[in-house]
Amino acid sequence: MRISDDKATHLSHVILDSLLGVPGVTPKTDRESILREVKRILHAELHVEEEVDAAARKKLASLSRQLPEGSAEWEVRYQAYFREEMNRRGRLFMGT
């Protein structure tokens, strides 16, 4: 999934403001450095999701019986393959 730079900037501000609202949370560096790191992490995690999506689609394409994309069976298998690949990469997947 790709998001614009503006959206990533906005999300990084929302995340940082939420964290700073937690009692006992005190930043150890300046706000701009934290925002840059949050934004970098957002982009990195979204890149992982793109790779996992491609792996799940490749696995679906390799089935002997081709499933029409968007069909109920395709969706169920896609979610299972996506979850399996996320687990293989040590990522927690909270999707359906």
In the prediction, which pLDDT does 96 show?
A: 56
pLDDT for 3: 87
Domain boundaries, the chain: 5-88
pTM for the model:
0.73
One-letter-per-residue 3-state SS of 31-86? HHHHHHHHHHHHHHHHHHHHHHHHHHHHHHHCCCCCCCCCCHHHHHHHHHHHHHHH
Write out pLDDT tens, residues 64-95: 999 999 999 999 999 999 999 999 998 877 66
